Structure 1
Amino acid sequence: MKIDLTDTTSSKINKALVQGRRAIGTPAVGMVLTLVIVTDEENAYDALKAANDASREHPSRKLVVVKRVSRSARDRAKARLDAEVRVGVDAGTGETVVLRLYGDVIDHAQSVVLPLLLPDAPVVVWWPVHAPVNPAQDPLGKLAQRRVTDTYTAEHPTEELTARADAYTPGDTDLSWTRITPWRSMVAAALDQVTCKVTSVEVGGEEFNPSVELLAMWLAERLHVPVRRTVSPGPGLTSVRMETDSGQIVLDRANGSLATLSIEGQPDRAVALNRRETSELIAEELRRLDPDDTYASALRFGVHRLADGATAPAGAATSGAAPEPDAPARAAKKAPAKKSASK
């Protein structure tokens, strides 16, 4: 069921939600959080589709805030709020309100969203594109327990990582970090299978891909060994090679779906390592609403080492921004770490 409201208010939108629930006989209970999606018109459809898919696991009220910038000066001066209320099959699992803001209302989006939040339920704000420099200080970000950005969509992803580290506040996270969860799990599982000390690591992937940078930062921060960043055609992350005192451990994924795990003295094994959809990434982030300390420590470690101005090791990639992810490795401690550190 869809209800369109033109030049409306938050009060009228709440009444439309009650009206829609009564019409289809659906109670308001069962929704576990409010997901606020801040985007533009171009990306609103894809973001809402991903949120609807994720709502099968996390029933929620989804508030899509679309800031419409009018071309004419007359339209820009006129403040207006249009809304589309969706309940039932049109809203996934839960309820959806698409809010289109015009004029001065754009600068006061929090005043529109606040009356529509579910009472006594967590709030998560997600910026699929154009995230603020400091999400925790954004007017909408201040309403949330969790703030989700996506550095991959930034014009300069590696520079964006530096901004994320400088402005980090507990509750911040990034989908570029979420994308490497299977890689981190697989690397930790591989190190659990052998008794060894890691002496160096090489991480390969697309140039300017923030997920590759974050994996290199995490390995350098956890293992305290040099981590070399190399550039490959992709897609995304393609390989992790660890030199140990008992032989080489290699996790290689050339096609974006199936990887090969090679451990010295053991037969090669094929492991599923698919590139995941945005809906899966959002669903993972909604499973925990507490601060991600591992993300924070890896991000700060890598960016602070970069700020120290360490020089690139011999043979490191030097084109474009490729040297930046080597920074945490360049200044990492030389002492080998035990395999349990990867956890």
Structure 2
Amino acid sequence: MIIDLPTTTASDVGKRLVDLREKHGAVTLGRVLTLVLVTDEEHAESAIASANHASHEHPCRIIAVIRGTSRGSTRLDAQIRVGGDAGASEVIVLRTFGPLTAHPVSVVVPLLLPDAPIVAWWPAEAPEVPAEDPVGTLAQRRITDAAACKRPLAALQDRVASHRPGDTDLSWTRLTLWRALLAAALDQPPHEEVTAVRVVGGPDNPSADLLAGWLSLTLRCPVTRTKASGVEGMLSVRLERASGPISIERPDDDVAVLSVPGRVDRKVSLPRRTEGECLAEELRRLDPDDVYGDVLATGLELQRETGKVTRTKVKAKR
């Protein structure tokens, strides 16, 4: 069910939600949090779809604030989505116009679930300091996505400068399976020291930079970050040891090849994760991600000091 409320107010939207609950049986009980996403029209529907996907694991109220043109008079157009159009949540879409585009918190606060945690998410461009943004100050967790920005690596450096406990980025979340696979490979004998690492990924891929920083921080050895043209995401990781290298290479989007000395190469599932899957993972925890914070604060700089950056070209797959 989709209900359009053109030229309305946040108070009227709240009253309509109560009316739906009382007259039509649309319930909001059991919502575990409020997810506030702030974006533009271009990224709005894909972000709402990802939030709906995550809501099947975390039933929530989704408040999508979509910034329209800042010119003209103040106006708020709203839309309420419940039932099959809202996953396991209820979605409130708020389109702001005029001076209201600079004050999204004024339309968000009246619609927050009482006594429920708040998570703020910027699917594309984010504030310079998310924790100091008016919407960000309401939230226990603040989620950004450097990879979705126009200049991903510059956005990653902004995250370094602006990080506060409670901040996280989906470029980091996309590495969960890579980190787990690398940890599992190193947990097998022989337990030798890693002497050097090479991380290969797309030239503008912040996840590859974060993985190189994490490995520098964890293994305390030189890590080379190779920027491969013709590649968008992560391509491979190679860990040098005395008995021979451990390597993980993902030639396609779903399966990687794990090579360990003395063993037959084996294929492992390592799919590219969707935005909805990454968002669902971040909603599982509301405490600060200390490892991510350490990588931003120390790991990235350590990689630059002890390792190096190289460039290569990878032929596109036919």
Same fold (TM over 0.5): yes
Greater alpha carbon shift after TM alignment, 217-226 vs 19-28? 19-28
Displacement after TM superposition at 1:212 (Å): 0.5
1:165–1:255 CA distance, 2 compared to 1 (3 A): same
Provide the residue aligned with 2:77 in structure 1: 82
Residue type at the aligned position of 1:54? A
Which letter does structure 1 place at the counterpart of 2:85?
D
Q: Which consecutive unaligned segments of at least 5 residues does structure 2 have? A: 313-318
Corresponding position: 1:290 with 2:287 = yes
Verify: 1:239 aligned to 2:236, yes or no.
yes
User: Which SS does the other structure have where 2:31 is aligned?
Assistant: coil
How has the CA–CA distance of structure 1 residues 125 and 296 changed in structure 2, closer, same or farther, with 3 Å as cutoff? same
Amino-acid identity (%): 50
SS in 1 for 2:240: strand
Aligned ranges for residues 99-114 of structure 1 at < 5 Å? 99-114=94-109
Q: Counterpart of 1:279?
A: 276
Give the secondary-structure state (helix, strand or coil) at the position aligned to 1:197: coil
CA distance in 2, matches of 1:193, 1:312: 25
Indicate whether 1:255 and 2:252 are aligned.
yes
**Counterparts in 2 of 1:84 and 1:100: CA distance versus 1, 3 Å:** same
1:310 deviates by 4.3
Q: Which amino acid aligns with 1:230?
A: T
Alignment-derived partner of residue 27 in structure 2: 27
Q: 1:23: Cα distance to partner?
A: 3.7
Within the alignment, does 1:317 sit opposite 2:313 as a pair?
A: no
Letter in 1 for 2:289: D
Provide the residue aligned with 2:125 in structure 1. Answer: 130
Identify the residue that residue 178 of structure 1 maps to in structure 2: 173
CA distance in 2: counterparts of 1:134 and 1:296, whole angstroms? 15
Unaligned runs of 5+ in 1: 71-75, 320-343
Q: Give me the whole-angstrom Cα distance separating, in 1, the residues matched to 2:24 and 2:257.
A: 50
Q: Distance in 2 between matches of 1:151 and 1:263?
A: 33
Structure 1 stretches of 4+ with a deviation exceeding 4 A read 309-313
Tell me how far apart the structure 2 counterparts of residues 169 and 190 of structure 1 sit (CA, whole Å).
32
User: 1:4, 1:206 → 2: CA distance?
Assistant: 42
Distance 1:235 1:7 in 2: 42
Aligned to 1:196: 192
Q: What amino acid is aligned across from residue 194 of structure 2 in structure 1?
A: V
> Could you tell me the TM-score, scaled by structure 2's length?
0.93
TM-score normalized with structure 1 length: 0.87
1:95 to 73, 90, 96: 90
Is 1:117 the counterpart of 2:98 in the alignment?
Answer: no
Instruction: List per-residue Cα deviations over 1:14-59 (Å, max 9, x = no partner).
Output: 1111122234313321110001110111111100011111111110
Instruction: Trace 1:209-220 onto structure 2 (pairs within 5 A).
Output: 209-220=205-216
Q: Is the 8 A contact 2:199 2:208 kept in 1?
A: yes
Secondary structure at the counterpart of residue 194 of structure 2: strand
Deviations 1:166-201 (A, max 9, x none): 110001000000001000000000000121111110
Distance 1:317 1:225 in 2: 17
Q: How many residues align?
A: 310
Equivalent-residue separation in structure 2 for 1:86 and 1:174 (angstroms) = 27
- What is the match of residue 2 of structure 1? 2
Q: Indicate the SS of the match to 2:245.
A: strand
CA distance in 1, matches of 2:53, 2:201: 28
2: CA distance, partners of 1:2 / 1:256 = 35
